[in-house]
């Protein structure tokens, strides 16, 4: 059997190349893994996140006397007398559902809305303040 020179050269080259190690790339540092237990609470998956904490309640800086109360499914509407003027407040149930005519109440500053239409009451209030909390004064 007769081998040709180019074929022998290819076989020899292939065998010698297999025996050599390929040049290794420089190793990159391993990523740092921090256990969950050592993270601050606000970063922990298992801990209580600060984002889930409730916001502090606004101060009850306003005072008034209740003239009338209208309770509907989601809101309590209060007509109140404040500084010798009648005005309307609305708050989410159950904040003021126990309020009744003649009660003295305290409430936060809230958000004033003009020409608010209540679809449930089929009524437009020229001015109404939506408050977060109403407390009956003792």
Q: Is residue 35 included in any domain, yes or no?
A: no
Residue 36, C-beta contacts closer than 8 angstroms, at least 6 positions apart: 44, 45, 46
Report if residue 99 sits inside a domain. yes
Kindly state whether residue 114 falls inside one of the protein's structural domains.
yes
Q: Considering its fold, how many domains does the chain have in total?
A: 1
Give yes or no for a cis peptide into 106 (omega within 30° of 0): no
78 located within any domain: yes
Give which of 84, 93, 76 is closest to 128, Cα–Cα: 76
Q: Give residue-wise pLDDT tens across range 14-65.
A: 555 555 554 555 566 666 554 544 445 544 445 555 555 677 877 899 999 9
Instruction: Output the domain CATH number for residue 80.
Output: 2.40.50.140
- Output the average pLDDT for the chain: 77
Is 8 inside a domain boundary?
A: no
Say if residue 86 is exposed, middle or buried (CB neighbours under 10 Å; 0-12, 13-18, 19+).
exposed
98: left (phi over 0), alpha (psi -120 to 50) or beta: alpha
* Residue 17 belongs to some domain of the structure: no
Render pLDDT for 77-126 as a digit per residue (tens, 0 to 9).
999 999 999 999 999 888 777 899 999 999 999 999 999 999 999 999 99
Residue 110 in domain? yes
Q: How far apart are CA 1 and CA 25, in angstroms?
A: 43
- Domain presence at residue 127: yes
What is the pTM for the complete model shown? 0.59
Structural domain boundaries, residue 104: 62-136
The residue written with tokens 């990159």 in the block is: 28
């Amino acid at each position: 059997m007769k081998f040709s020179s180019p074929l022998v050269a290819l076989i020899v080259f292939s065998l010698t190349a297999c025996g050599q190690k390929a040049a290794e790339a420089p190793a990159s540092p391993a990523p740092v893994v921090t256990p969950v237990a050592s993270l601050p609470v606000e970063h922990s998956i298992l801990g209580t996140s600060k984002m889930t904490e409730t916001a502090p309640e606004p101060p009850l800086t306003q005072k008034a006397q209740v003239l009338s109360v209208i309770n509907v499914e989601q809101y309590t509407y209060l007509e109140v007398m404040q500084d010798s003027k009648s005005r309307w407040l609305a708050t989410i149930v159950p904040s003021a559902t126990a309020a009744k005519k003649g009660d003295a109440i305290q409430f936060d500053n809230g958000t004033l809305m003009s020409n608010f239409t209540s679809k449930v009451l089929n009524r437009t209030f020229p001015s109404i303040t939506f408050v977060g909390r109403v407390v009956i004064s003792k």
